[in-house]
Amino acid sequence: MLIAFYSMTGNVRRFIKNTHLAEQFDVHEIRANNKEEPVDEPFILVTSTYGNGGIPGEVQSFLRVNHRSMIAVASSGNRNWGRDFARAGEHISDEYSVPLILKFELHGTPQDREDFIEKAGAIHESIRREKIQSY
């Protein structure tokens, strides 16, 4: 399983780094120069939100190519945006019918990181079980 992320201001990158998930999973940072490269394994998307709940353009481009492999989404935002806080995750969840597993502010709290690690681990275990059972 892969963790794919996009960080507009560095907050999501910091969140991912502080989870230490790169020790367990492949991590792929979505950037302008790779936003349309295919990903051939299941992934959890972690993205920032811009403006009034918008999905960053790089993420939209990435999902046009890779949405079929996405299994969950998490999003970052700023609570100053009120009801639009981390709303990119809601939009992605609705559009692609994947669960929104976490909304966190800026680079997240220690509890946010623990919650994400637990949920990513559970999703990974579920995928692993499905592969074993399919043999």
Mean local confidence (pLDDT), 34-42: 96
Render pLDDT for 51-100 as a digit per residue (tens, 0 to 9). Answer: 889 999 999 999 999 999 999 999 999 998 889 999 999 999 999 999 99
Whether the model pTM is above 0.85:
yes
In the block, tokens 């700023």 appear at 78
Q: What are the structural domains, with CATH classification, of the chain?
A: 2-134 (3.40.50.360)
Predicted pLDDT at 24: 87
Q: Which two tokens stand for residue 24?
A: 């367990």
In the block, tokens 């692609």 appear at 96
C-alpha–C-alpha distance, residues 125 and 119, integer Å: 10
Q: Which two tokens stand for residue 112?
A: 């946010």
Q: pLDDT exceeding 90 applies to what percent of the chain?
A: 86
